[in-house]
Amino acid sequence: MAKNWLEAHADFSAGVHTFGQCMALADLNADGDHRLIIADHGQFLANRSQAKLKKNKGLAPLGLFGPPDGR
């Protein structure tokens, strides 16, 4: 498989709610390993709760973060 392709796991019960514009591939650690970044808005549009950013390594969750507040 070419280096710029992503092998992904499809799980419709994962509970990720996003749009195509909220996804990107990025080399976060400048080590040549590009990661999929997804902004999961959850049920934000339905109940106006705060959106969160999820950090995963493979299928394992590593953290849940609020958006940057500009401070």
66 phi, psi to nearest 5 deg? -75, 165
Q: In the structure, how many helices (H) and strands (E) does the chain have? A: 1, 4
3-class DSSP state for residue 17?
Answer: coil
- Asked if residue 67 is part of any domain, the answer here is no
Which tens digits make up the pLDDT trace of 8-54?
666 677 677 788 888 888 887 888 888 778 777 766 666 666 667 77
Global pTM reads 0.51
> On the CB side of 31, how many CA atoms lie within 13 Å of its CA?
4
Q: Is residue 1 part of a domain?
A: no
Residue 9 included in any domain: no
Amino acid residing at 14? A
Has residue 37 been placed in a domain? yes
Give the chain's domain count.
1
7 lies in a domain? no
5 in any annotated domain: no
Give dist(CA 22, CA 2) in Å, integer: 24
In a domain, 66, yes or no: no
What is the domain range of residue 33?
21-54
Structure tokens at 64: 């849940």
